[in-house]
Amino acid sequence: MPMPEKLIFEYSHAGRGASDQWPRDPGPAALADLPAKLRRVRPPELPEVGELETVRHFTRLSQLNFSIDTHFYPLGSCTMKYNPKACNQYAMLPEFLARHPLAPETHGQGLLACLYELQEMLKEVTGMQSVALNPMAGAHGEFAGVAMIRAYHRARGDLKRNEIIVPEAAHGTNPATATMCGCAVREIPVDAQGDVELTALAAAVGPNTAGIMLTNPSTLGVFERHIGEVARIVHQAGGLLYYDGANLNAILGKVRPGDMGFDVIHMNLHKTFSTPHGGGGPGAGAVGVGARLAPFVPIPLVGKDGERYRWLTEADLPQSIGRLSAFMGNTGVLLRAYIYMRMLGREGMQRVGEYATLNANYLLARLQAAGFAAAYPQRRASHEFIVTLKRQARELNVTAMDFAKRLLDYGFHAPTTYFPLLVPECLLIEPTETESKDVLDAFVSAMSQIQKEAEQEPARVTSAPHTMPVRRLDDVRAARQLDLTWKPTAQS
């Protein structure tokens, strides 16, 4: 069992430091021209530690984490697939790392070629006409998408269209984004099969409809079978269709959002295109648009004049919604996505959707055979599916949270719990295509074991995890007694 690790500040000793990392002292005269009243009086209290201490501390911290490199991580809606080491190695070539964002295009044709080709490949797999790579996260891409929809209507003088329709099962970023764009949110129900309720949709659209935000497959893990009809209803009412690409992994290479009638899509490069999650980021939320929205894309994009690549900016796209990033977005992340897509190639792209779906359906079948209840048993799984533990909660007083914690003891990161909110006591499970059959079988085994424990020895499950550095942290206390920065005299 990993030992708790002290805070870096607790290793600090006055006078210690990795002094070989410091530049040579320019001497006190170097700062003579700085006005005294603008100078810092006391240095900031950063740790004074040596290099080995620092390396040990952060290495030990890393060992307290579960990660894809160490554990099966079936988090639904997160697409925790293997992050190929080649993507990191070649994205971190020294010339790429050293290049300043404002360096001239003449000293960036290699980089720009990669980004241009990435735009082209993303257009092809999504069926969209134009792709902007600069939004820095999925939610950022969503913002761009809704802002473009709004800009489109305003450009046509249609100023009343400020309502965004969102299915009640949608991820929280969707309504939050709509609000950030100054739009009102209108929620519509999904039916018992997990599809959007068409009659409710028809009643919800009208002259105030700016658009609808959909994920397909939906957050319930099933394909929106009436997508053609949904598109028709919304377009006829004058609204546009926004595709949340969180679940693109399910259909990559098999179906294209552009073909389904979507006007704008955001992609999560850190999900579908395997760039690293990094403990919370960086992501990259590239957006793709059809012809209607092409004039509004956020700048910059990469363009090509003959054989030369260059940046397209406000001068080229005067109706652009503007700039979302100080520079051109998360370039290093884009390079990793490029390398990944080139390694997959057209053959590999199709296999992603196929094997992600195969793995999900296999895992679903085996879990059902082991006695677990699927939320939508009559539907095919997409790349993910929902298991509900409401029976266990009712009969055994063991919840989805308890199962999730006990799975940690078995060496598996828990699936997503309690999302989507519609399904009680749910686990949203997404294995991804990079997991082998053995791993899936081992997961089923663990779940069956935990079920047995829940029946025979429930305390073992409800008081899990037993083998982690901490157990069931008190988040009420965390929110009531805010301890957000370390203070030397703080008592625990």
By CB under 8 A, the residues from 341 to 360 that bind other proteins are: 341-351, 354-355, 357-359
Binding residue for other proteins (CB under 8 A) from 155, 156, 172, 395? 172
| Contact status: 429 vs other proteins (CB under 8 A) | no
How open is the CA angle 101-105-108, to the nearest 5 degrees? 70
Applying CB under 8 A, which of residues 47, 206, 303, 458 lies at the interface with other proteins? Answer: 47
Nearer to other proteins, 64 or 203 (CB): 64
21 touches 51 (CB < 8 A)? yes
Q: Which of 3, 41, 192, 459 binds other proteins (CB under 8 A)?
A: 41
b/e burial code for range 284-301 (CB count within 10 A of at least 16 → b): bbbbbbbeebbbbbbbbb
Indicate the residue among 139 and 264 with the shorter CB distance to other proteins: 139
C-beta of 135 vs 239, nearer to other proteins: 135
Does residue 179 belong to the site contacting other proteins (CB under 8 A)? yes
Q: CB-wise, 65 or 397, nearer to other proteins? A: 65
62 binds other proteins (CB under 8 A): yes
Residue 218 in the binding site for other proteins (CB under 8 A)? no
The bridge status of strand 301-305 relative to strand 308-312 is: antiparallel
Least gap, CB of 111 to other proteins (angstroms): 6
- Cα 398–Cα 400–Cα 401 angle in degrees, nearest 5: 90
Q: Computed over its alpha carbons, how large is the radius of gyration of the chain?
A: 25
Pick the stretch among 31-39, 236-244, 301-309, 452-460 that binds other proteins (CB under 8 A): 31-39
Q: Smaller CB distance to other proteins: residue 455 or 463?
A: 463
List binders of other proteins among 222-241 (CB under 8 A).
Answer: 222-223, 225, 227-228
Q: According to CB under 8 A, which one of 189, 253, 295, 458 is a site residue for other proteins?
A: 253
Is residue 305 close enough to count as binding other proteins by CB under 8 A? no
Rule CB under 8 A: choose which of 13, 110, 391, 452 binds other proteins: 110
Scanning residues 438 to 477, which ones bind other proteins (CB under 8 A)?
463, 465, 468-477
Q: Backbone phi, then psi, for 458, in 5-degree steps?
A: -55, -30
Which string of DSSP letters, residue by residue, matches 402-450? HHHHHHHHTTB---EES-STTSTTEEEE---TTS-HHHHHHHHHHHHHH
Compare residues 138 and 239 and give the one whose CB is closer to other proteins.
138
With binding defined as CB under 8 A, does residue 49 bind other proteins?
yes
Query: By CB neighbour count within 10 A (0-12 exposed, 13-18 middle, 19+ buried), where does 115 fall?
Result: buried
Alpha carbon of 110 to those of 1, 114, 143, 206, 467: distances in Å? Answer: 47, 7, 30, 48, 49
Rule CB under 8 A: choose which of 255, 301, 400, 454 binds other proteins: 255
Q: Which is nearer to other proteins, 4 or 157 (CB)?
A: 4
Q: Which of 55, 155, 203, 370 binds other proteins (CB under 8 A)?
A: 55
- Considering only 113, 202, 312, 373, the residue that binds other proteins (CB under 8 A) is 113
Size of the site for other proteins (CB under 8 A): 200
Would you say how long the chain is, in residues?
A: 492
Contacting residue, 333, 375, 396, 450, with other proteins by CB under 8 A: 333
Nearer to other proteins, 220 or 455 (CB): 220
Choice between 255 and 454, CB closer to other proteins: 255
Six-digit token pair at 31?
Answer: 């700062």
Can you spell out the DSSP letters for 95-161?
Answer: HHHH--TTS-GGG-HHHHHHHHHHHHHHHHHHT-SEEE----SHHHHHHHHHHHHHHHHHHTT-TT-
Stretch that binds other proteins, among 49-57, 200-208, 389-397, 449-457 (CB under 8 A): 49-57
Nearer to other proteins, 47 or 206 (CB): 47
Q: Which stretch binds other proteins (CB under 8 A): 196-204, 302-310, 406-414, 451-459?
A: 406-414
Question: HSE (CB half, 13 Å, CA atoms) of 260?
Answer: 26
131 DSSP β-pair partners: 288
Is residue 378 a contact point for other proteins (CB under 8 A)?
no
CA separation for the pair 293, 152 (Å, rounded): 7
Q: For residue 149, which phi and psi values (nearest 5 degrees)? A: -60, -45
Phi, psi of 385 (to 5 degrees): -155, 165
**Residue 192 binds other proteins, judged by CB under 8 A:** no
Q: Is the peptide bond before 420 cis (omega within 30 degrees of 0)?
A: yes
